[in-house]
Amino acid sequence: MQADYVIVGAGSAGCAMAYRLAEAGRSVIVIEHGGSDAGPFIQMPAALSYPMNMSMYDWGYRTEPEPQLNNRRLVAPRGKVLGGSSSINGMVYVRGHARDFDHWAAQGAQGWAFADVLPYFKRMETWHDGGHGGDASWRGGDGPLHVTRGPRRNPLYHAFVEAGRQAGYEVTDDYNGQKQEGFGPFEQTVWRGRRWSAANAYLRPALKTGRVRILRGLASRIVIESHRATGVEVLRGSRPMIVQAGAEVIVAASAFNSPKLLMLSGIGPAAHLADHGIAVIADRPGVGRNLQDHLEVYFQMAASQPITLYRHWNIISKAVIGAQWLVTGKGLGASNNFESCGFIRSRAGVEYPDIQFHFLPFAVRYDGRAAAEGHGFQAHVGPMRSPSRGTVTLRSPDPRAAPRIFFNYMSTDQDWQDFRRCLRLTREIFTKEAFQPFVKHEIQPGADKVTDDQLDDFIREHAESAYHPCGTCKMGAADDPMAVVDPQARVIGVDGLRLADSSIFPRITNGNLNAPSIMVGEKAADHILGRSPLPAANDEPWIHPDWRSAQR
């Protein structure tokens, strides 16, 4: 099999690149180990807790024991299905803050400042404000990715935003526009009641061109001849086959599998490759380093009124919601139910938000376990810019073996200070007047957990990944020894090879990672095609005028 471009991974960035390359008349083969994304578990937005807990759709990875979290091994889902993690995620749409991308550029990712990436965010979007206001001049109107807002019918969504305002925080009607900071409506990749994954937005239209083919199989190594990538070896059953790339090989296999595939192919830290008997083609010590994530807790409150989603937590109600969704595409099944949010700064002297809230009118975990208290609601909260860094390394030279994933969570004093502050600021919001008609008591951490030690114990036992891994193949200047790709997404040290997914983020962005991952695919496609980047924007983000001296 042969095509101009061979893309490893049909995920958020891979689908976007396949679409843009096909649009430009190029032939593309996309290698994907997972299967079809058809069926209600993926396509029904409210069913989001199912696919990320199903081995059919998830790689099933777990972390190594995390020393600061009572040696717990945390689940680390990644999509093994068409659409990749955009087919199993929570569908929350957050671009990130302008300053995140300015930081990328300052770290050596030249051409990736906010002014450079905003045009790509606009190109990829069709934005629907639902009549709720927003920042149309900052948004896209004709892109493949539909972005919508939930109906916010439950009064708790409004109570959360009002409580934030009563606490003295900003209100924003579009955190993806000029002003991220504040409380307001959440956005989701849902369109006409369906999950609008990268497979629905990009891959299906690309397949219709006839220039894109999908090959089911496990990419086991990149074929490199005379320091040039010429194809990909794929395992299908017992016999490997070679898929040849006429122009380039593009890796877009996730923050876990992209570094793994590079290392299996001889690109990575020389000593680590030698330990596994792999011949070194390019000694790149940054491969698998710089792993980052968002860690969060579910701050849960018991409700004094039976108005939460718990009233639907029974087999009959679930069946009714599912049937309504199947027939009409509407109802509770048509939203991820994350419909209000907040972005705040943890203290004076922080220039832009470093805490994110996901509000949910239900006390439940991602694995679908409801709080024993029954009716309740919760805010997912955690720091956005942890200084801790982890690693992805090989467990074995066998491509079927899972990589070793070690996030090294909470490994600095700053992590603990930031996380305690998150909990105390969240507790304060739930005490505001807007919540008084609805609050019964605090479920967790529990109102008696007030000292630093008590909060630290709670964090150790209850913090979970927000499933935002990134950074393991950092983008930077070609002379940066820890950079893995240059600002054109070319793998340094090997010709004909690019890498574009969340692995290349120099630092994690502020919020959920699906939107910036798709943006990376969009922008990388222009670099691959040798096109001039879209003209830079000159829009300036809103920054709190008193950020140096005030927390809110």
pLDDT tens by residue, 516-534: 999 999 999 999 999 999 9
Output the CA angle 527-510-446, nearest 5 degrees: 155
The domain that contains 486 carries what CATH number? 3.50.50.60
Residue 260 has pLDDT above 90, yes or no: yes
- Separation between Cα atoms, residue 128 and residue 550, nearest integer Å: 34
Summarised one tens digit per residue, pLDDT across range 467-480 is 999 999 999 999 99
Indicate if 171 and 106 belong to the same structural domain: no
282-283 and 267-268 beta bridge pairing: parallel
Indicate if 119 and 229 belong to the same structural domain: yes
Residue 129 has pLDDT above 90, yes or no: no
Q: Give the pLDDT of residue 369.
A: 75
Give the mean pLDDT of the chain: 96
The single residue listed with the structure tokens 């471009």 is 5
Q: Among 33, 468, 527, 544, which one carries the catalytic annotation?
A: 468
Indicate if 37 and 109 belong to the same structural domain: yes
Indicate if 174 and 235 belong to the same structural domain: no
Indicate if 22 and 164 belong to the same structural domain: no
Last residue of a domain, one of 462, 495, 524: 462
507 part of a folded domain? yes
Task: Tell me which residue range forms the domain holding 155.
Answer: 151-185+295-383+411-462
393 part of a folded domain? no
2-8 and 28-32 beta bridge pairing: parallel
540 part of a folded domain? no
Q: DSSP letter at 278?
A: P
259 part of a folded domain? yes
Residue 188 φ then ψ, to 5°:
-140, 150
The domain that contains 329 carries what CATH number? 3.30.410.40
Band the pLDDT of 487: cuts 50, 70, 90.
Answer: very high
**Got the DSSP string for 438-486?**
TEEEEEES-TT--SHHHHHHHHHHH-EE-S--B-TT-B--TT-TT-SB-
Q: Give the pLDDT of residue 340.
A: 98
Output the CA angle 485-489-495, nearest 5 degrees: 75
DSSP count for the chain of H helices, then E strands: 13, 23
537 part of a folded domain? no
Residue 132 has pLDDT above 90, yes or no: no
- Separation between Cα atoms, residue 379 and residue 59, nearest integer Å: 27
Residue 370 has pLDDT above 80, yes or no: no
Summarised one tens digit per residue, pLDDT across range 269-301 is 999 999 999 999 999 999 999 999 999 999 999
- Separation between Cα atoms, residue 185 and residue 193, nearest integer Å: 18
Buried b (16+ CB within 10 A) or exposed e, 331-358: bbbbbbbbbbbbbbbbeeebebbbbbbb
Give the burial class of 60: count Cβ atoms within 10 A of its Cβ; 0-12 exposed, 13-18 middle, 19 or more buried: middle
Total tally of structural domains belonging to the chain? 2
Residue 366's identity, in one-letter code, is Y
Summarised one tens digit per residue, pLDDT across range 413-426 is 999 999 999 999 99
Indicate if 250 and 330 belong to the same structural domain: no
Residue 524's identity, in one-letter code, is A
Written in H, E and C, the secondary structure of 116-173 is HHHHHHHHHEEECCCCCCCCHHHCCECCCEEEEECCCCCHHHHHHHHHHHHCCCCECC
Residue 366 has pLDDT above 90, yes or no: no
Q: Give the pLDDT of residue 313.
A: 87
Q: Give the pLDDT of residue 490.
A: 98
Contact of 158 with 152, CB cutoff 8 Å = yes
Task: Reply yes or no on whether 276 is catalytic.
Answer: no
Contact of 358 with 291, CB cutoff 8 Å = no
Q: Give the pLDDT of residue 237.
A: 83
N- to C-terminal Cα separation, the chain? 58
Q: Give the pLDDT of residue 275.
A: 98
Binding residues for FAD: 81, 89-92
The total of other beta-carbon atoms located within 10 Å of residue 3's CB is 22
Indicate if 342 and 481 belong to the same structural domain: no
Indicate if 49 and 113 belong to the same structural domain: yes
- Separation between Cα atoms, residue 426 and residue 409, nearest integer Å: 21
Summarised one tens digit per residue, pLDDT across range 46-100 is 999 899 889 999 999 999 999 999 999 999 999 999 999 999 999 999 999 999 9
Indicate if 235 and 354 belong to the same structural domain: no
Q: Give the pLDDT of residue 16.
A: 98
Least trusted range by pLDDT, from 93-107, 313-327, 365-379, 535-549: 365-379
Candidates 414, 27, 456, 34; CA nearest to 215 is 34
Binding residues: 81, 89-92
Q: Give the pLDDT of residue 239.
A: 87
Residue 131 has pLDDT above 90, yes or no: no
In three-state secondary structure terms, 317 is: helix
Band the pLDDT of 367: cuts 50, 70, 90.
Answer: confident
Residue 373 has pLDDT above 90, yes or no: no
Q: DSSP letter at 537?
A: P
Indicate if 284 and 326 belong to the same structural domain: no
Q: Give the pLDDT of residue 364.
A: 85
Band the pLDDT of 134: cuts 50, 70, 90.
Answer: confident
Q: Give the pLDDT of residue 365.
A: 76
The single residue listed with the structure tokens 């995920």 is 11
456 part of a folded domain? yes
144 part of a folded domain? no
Residue 70 φ then ψ, to 5°:
55, 30
Alpha carbon of 97 to those of 26, 252, 385, 395: distances in Å?
33, 23, 12, 35
Candidates 218, 248, 246; CA nearest to 233 is 218
Half-sphere exposure of 41 (CA within 13 A, CB side): 14
Q: Give the pLDDT of residue 276.
A: 98
Band the pLDDT of 238: cuts 50, 70, 90.
Answer: confident
Indicate if 207 and 303 belong to the same structural domain: no
497-499 and 239-251 beta bridge pairing: parallel
In three-state secondary structure terms, 393 is: strand
Candidates 525, 501, 495; CA nearest to 10 is 501
Residue 135 has pLDDT above 90, yes or no: no
Q: Give the pLDDT of residue 444.
A: 96
3-state helix, strand, coil in the chain (%, to 5): 30, 25, 45
Take residue 269 and report the two structure tokens written for it.
Answer: 């830290």
- Separation between Cα atoms, residue 76 and residue 392, nearest integer Å: 12
Half-sphere exposure of 6 (CA within 13 A, CB side): 25
396 part of a folded domain? no
- Separation between Cα atoms, residue 336 and residue 164, nearest integer Å: 22
Indicate if 453 and 495 belong to the same structural domain: no
